[in-house]
Structure 1
Amino acid sequence: MTDTTAQTKSDAVAERFVTAFREDGFTHIPSLLTAEEVARYREAALDAIERHGKTAGMGGGGTALVQTKGAWWKHETLRNLSRHPRIGAVAEQLAGMPLRVWGGEAFAKHPHDEVPTIWHDDLTFAPLDSRMTMNAWIALVDVPVERGCLTFLPESHRRADPYRGELSAARENPDSYLFTQWPQLGWSPRVTVPLRAGDATFHQSRVGHMAGGNTSEETREAFIITYTDAEATYQPLPGQSPLEDLEPGQLPPDDRYPRVSDFG
């Protein structure tokens, strides 16, 4: 792959956020969206969830966590959110390389759905050969601890090999595979990050994380944008259903998986 790091912007966020992202594997960016943007994107997310939402596979333990499938492509407003220039610029500065959008989905965890989303990493499930894959988890409502914010394992992206978990092991033991394959993570510090509406966390795909249950009276709504290295290639994992629009080894087409550098 060509090293095109120099093409990325470097002034979207303060350097302390870049340092945290690279050292800890995640960072919290406050006020990424304005109140007006939050209201517009939340309305679109609720519409997409109502029309396309299904129970998420990674909830674990019987949670009724609902997520969309393909919302960033089916819904114009959410497509605009996935291509948000400032969010993309922040992602590229954190990563230090050109990125493209790999996906974007809306999530809802309803009141009194007290089952947490299980501990996991995203790399285990990513069908990509990529130097960097990351998620921007954008709060569309206030997400205090009792509403189910994320908890991270700092520096878990630096853990010893195997670099990538086995997809089959994660499917057979979704509640425990992370700590079975990397027992040392059980002794890692855990950092919980409450968010205000419009805040976001960015985390690398190898970072262990979970989300708490929603013990509050309000629905927790969020939108997650997945970015990957702009030069990443599609590599389906053993036992994974292939994507209809890509062939193994293919560079994703820019019209379907847009490069951040092309955002307006």
Structure 2
Amino acid sequence: MSDMTSPTAPFAIDEQHITNFREHGFTRIPGLIPAEEVAHWRKIALDTIEEDGRRAGMGGGGTALRTTSDPWWKHDSLRDLVRHPRVGAAAEQLAGTPMRVWSGQAYAKHPHDEVPTIWHEDLTLTPLDSPMNVNAWVALVDVPVERGCLIFLPDSHKRPEPHRAEMSAVKSHATTYMFEEWPDLEWYPRVTVPVRAGDVTFHQSTVGHASNGNHSDGVRLAFIISYTGASAIYRPRPGHARMDEELVPGEQLPDGRYPRVSGLTETHRP
């Protein structure tokens, strides 16, 4: 166990995961969500995505990347997954600092949607000042290479500062901005990480990552939970969309809507 592990954590992750996360910027924890829970969350995530699609007039089927359209707190059925104490405790142990929930979103990439997810890092898109931001990618189905699993650039969180790009660069050169801002990243090794349902990958927001298209006959379904430091300050930059009208620039996130990991508790699950 790390000496920085929260004493209130419901379990302790393996030290090797902590080492991988801090040295290389990411790690995969197999089987973090039990199989019976995965089936439960898979149905809820698919139902919620389909409901949002109908509201948006998208209809059923198709190959577009589908996501829940509202922030996580507007979907009661998904709230317990965003607040999952085991995933939160793992994120906090990896970060080595007190953390809180920032957001959660379900994503579905339909069969034979061969459009890749572009290379990017998450910090530029995050309107927060925090010593650490962590994203957890919860696999709700098996995601082998052909289904479009994540690809990481190990050690890219150690690139020279500034670690943020301008949002204007992201919007005007979305597919190339990361390698234009940090040219050396083009030559970093790339690690492809296939996952089984219930596995969770964690990565720092400064780590470059992407995914290929879904070349399989099955849907690629995942839930992404974002965590930030407990002392994070809301600090939108030019080009950031306002996520929550209640947030005040320059102030700390409120505990009620963005709960601290230390306060997450187990709820009844199948």
TM-score past 0.5 threshold: yes
Which residue is equivalent to 1:172? 172
Which residue is equivalent to 2:35? 35
* Aligned length, in residue pairs: 252
* Distance verdict in 2 for CA 1:161–1:53, change over 3 Å: farther
Contact 1:32 1:198 in 2 (8 A): yes
| Cα shift at 1:70 | 3.2
User: Over aligned residues, Cα RMSD in angstroms?
Assistant: 1.6
| Cα shift at 1:76 | 2.5
Structure 2 stretches lacking a partner, 5+ long: 55-62, 266-270
For residues 177-192 of structure 1, the aligned pairs below 5 Å read: 177-192=177-192
* Amino acid across the alignment from 2:157: H
Which residue is equivalent to 2:66? 66
> Any idea what the Cα deviations from partners look like across 1:78-110, whole Å, max 9, x if unmatched?
110111111111000000011110000000000
Distance in structure 1 (CA, Å) of the matches to 2:230 and 2:53: 28
Give 3-state SS (helix, strand or coil) of 2:94's partner.
helix
> Any idea what the Cα deviations from partners look like across 1:152-179, whole Å, max 9, x if unmatched?
0000000012221111101110000000
* Distance verdict in 2 for CA 1:53–1:93, change over 3 Å: farther
Distance in structure 1 (CA, Å) of the matches to 2:77 and 2:39: 12
Contact 1:127 1:237 in 2 (8 A): yes
For residues 71-220 of structure 1, the aligned pairs below 5 Å read: 72-220=72-220
Distance in structure 1 (CA, Å) of the matches to 2:16 and 2:72: 30
Distance in structure 2 (CA, Å) of the matches to 1:32 and 1:240: 33
Moved more, 77-86 or 104-113: 77-86
Distance in structure 2 (CA, Å) of the matches to 1:252 and 1:52: 27
Give 3-state SS (helix, strand or coil) of 2:225's partner.
strand
Give 3-state SS (helix, strand or coil) of 1:100's partner.
strand
Q: Equivalent pairs: percent with the same residue? A: 60
Structure 1 runs of 4+ with >6 Å offset? none
Q: TM-score, normalised by structure 2?
A: 0.90
Contact 2:8 2:262 in 1 (8 A): no
Contact 2:5 2:92 in 1 (8 A): no
| Cα shift at 1:252 | 1.1
> Any idea what the Cα deviations from partners look like across 1:101-127, whole Å, max 9, x if unmatched?
000000000011011100000001000
Give 3-state SS (helix, strand or coil) of 2:12's partner.
coil
> Any idea what the Cα deviations from partners look like across 1:197-233, whole Å, max 9, x if unmatched?
0001000000000011000000100000000001001
* Distance verdict in 2 for CA 1:50–1:161, change over 3 Å: same
Distance in structure 2 (CA, Å) of the matches to 1:7 and 1:216: 40
Distance in structure 2 (CA, Å) of the matches to 1:261 and 1:225: 16
Distance in structure 1 (CA, Å) of the matches to 2:138 and 2:6: 25
Moved more, 157-166 or 210-219: 157-166
| Cα shift at 1:8 | 5.5
Residues 1:255 and 2:260 aligned together? no
* Amino acid across the alignment from 2:254: P
Distance in structure 2 (CA, Å) of the matches to 1:210 and 1:146: 14
Distance in structure 2 (CA, Å) of the matches to 1:12 and 1:69: 34
Contact 2:21 2:202 in 1 (8 A): yes
Give 3-state SS (helix, strand or coil) of 2:77's partner.
helix
Which residue is equivalent to 1:237? 237
Which residue is equivalent to 2:19? 19
Structure 1 stretches lacking a partner, 5+ long: 55-62
Give 3-state SS (helix, strand or coil) of 2:48's partner.
helix
Which residue is equivalent to 1:57? none
* Distance verdict in 2 for CA 1:246–1:8, change over 3 Å: farther
Distance in structure 1 (CA, Å) of the matches to 2:93 and 2:113: 36
Q: TM-score, normalised by structure 1?
A: 0.92
